Amino acid sequence: MDRWLSVVVVVGITALLLMGLAAPKTYTIEAQKLVLKDKAGKPRAVLQLDDHDEPQLDLRAASGPVRTTLDANTGLGLIGPEGTRRATLRPR
C-alpha cells in the first residue's frame, strides 16, 4: 500500500510540475502614459488618456511642434507648427 501511495504522490507532483511548465507566459505592463523618445531624448510618440479619460495617441515630427493626434473625442487631427488644427477627420 505504501508503494502505491508513493507512486501516486510522485505522479501527482510530476503532473503539477508539467502543468506549470506548459502554462502560457503572459506579461502585462500597466501605465497611464507611454512615451517613445528618439536618440536625443525628444518625445516622438505618446500614448495616454486625455482630459476625458479617453485613449489618445500623439505622433510628433522630428522638427518643431507639428504632430498628428488620434483620440476618441476629436478623431484624427493634424496639428500645424502654430499649434492649430490643419485637418480633422472626426467620428460620426
- Helices within the chain (DSSP H only): 2-22
Percent of the chain with pLDDT over 70: 80
Please return the burial class of 79, using the count of CB atoms within 10 Å of its CB with bins 0-12, 13-18 and 19+.
buried
Mean pLDDT, range 71-91, rounded to an integer: 83
- Structure confidence by residue, pLDDT tens digits, 5-42: 666 677 777 776 676 666 677 788 888 899 999 898 88
Q: Where are the domains of the chain?
A: 33-89
pTM: 0.61
Is the predicted pLDDT of residue 1 greater than 60, yes or no?
no
Extended strands (E) in the chain = 33-37, 43-49, 55-60, 67-71, 75-79, 85-89
Radius of gyration of the chain from its Cα atoms, rounded to whole angstroms: 26
pLDDT of residue 52: 80
